[in-house]
Amino acid sequence: MSELGLCSRREADDYIARGLVRVDGVVVSELGSKVFPNQRIDLDRVASEAQAARVTVLINKPIGYVSGQAEKGYQPAAALILPANLWEGDASRQTFRREHLQGLAPAGRLDIDSTGLLVLTQDGRIARQLIGEDSPVDKEYLVRVEGRLNADGLRLLNHGLSLDGEALKPARVWWQNRDQLRFVLNEGKKRQIRRMCELVGLRVVGLKRVRIGKVLLGDLPLGQWRYLAPGERFW
């Protein structure tokens, strides 16, 4: 069910236990039931409506906010999700409701010293798509740096560095202007870009995430948020 994009694995377990899943028209209520590739899986109307009602929120996170739970006196980015902060350019036609905050969790992290696109979602399918080990979704960053970088250093940023004893996947890194690099990554180790830059003699003085998959930060103002629009997809 997760692979078909019907719901997340956790949601699948709940729907199966509640008798809301049919295979070839027959209700299946036993977890771990086998299904063959040629069989049809359907969600009951109640489960389908529950999936459709789940929202995904995009925030332009300012410095000083953490991605998840509050820590060390810092507020979570979710604290910004207020009607007053909803971007006037939001094109989703979604009306804010308090229940949109229930079960809303970050799909990936953005460290406290960074700004830019942060995704919070109620939809387990989107969370899996963005943070699963096999996620195909890349992320793009503008990174302002100090220091000198030679051609070999740029080559290493693209491929050849290791963190925590593991070789990093190939990245795409190039100069955006005299003091700013553009990074495109397919993985997200803790403070990865800052640590990569340190390894080649650079110091990061500003970092902003501008894209996740096909979804752009665009004109979303700092500290404001919007809903993921119907038809808008990360992959």
Q: Are residues 167 and 200 in the same domain?
A: yes
Same domain, 64 and 131: yes
Looking at the domain assignment, is residue 234 inside a domain?
no
pLDDT of amino acid 47: 78
Overall residue count recorded for the chain in this entry? 235
Instruction: Please give the pLDDT value at position 218.
Output: 97
Q: Report the SS3 class of residue 8.
A: coil
> pTM for this one?
0.83
Q: What is the DSSP letter of 202?
A: -
Same domain membership, residue 158 and residue 86 = no
Instruction: Please give the residue range of the domain that contains residue 169.
Output: 139-212
Please list the active-site residues.
Answer: 111
Asked if the structure places residue 120 within a domain, the reply is yes
Closest CA to 220 of 58, 55, 56: 58
Query: Hunting for tokens 């180790």 — which residue is that?
Result: 189
Listed as own residue / partner, the contacts of 162-169 with beta carbons closer than 8 Å and 24 or more positions apart are 163/189, 163/192, 163/195, 163/196, 164/189, 168/192, 168/196
On whether residue 192 sits in a domain, the answer given is yes
Neighbours of 122 (CB within 10 A): 20
> Does 43 map to a domain?
yes
Give the domain CATH number at 163.
3.30.2350.10
- 147, 192: one domain: yes
| Per-position pLDDT tens, the chain of length 235 | 877 767 777 888 988 998 989 999 999 988 888 899 899 999 888 877 777 778 999 999 999 999 988 788 899 999 999 999 999 999 998 999 998 998 899 999 999 999 999 999 998 888 888 987 778 899 999 999 999 999 999 999 999 999 999 999 999 999 999 999 999 999 989 999 999 999 999 999 999 999 999 999 999 999 999 999 988 999 8
- Tell me what pLDDT residue 5 has: 67
**Helix pair 192-199, 151-158: axis angle to 10 deg:** 150
Number of domains in the chain: 3
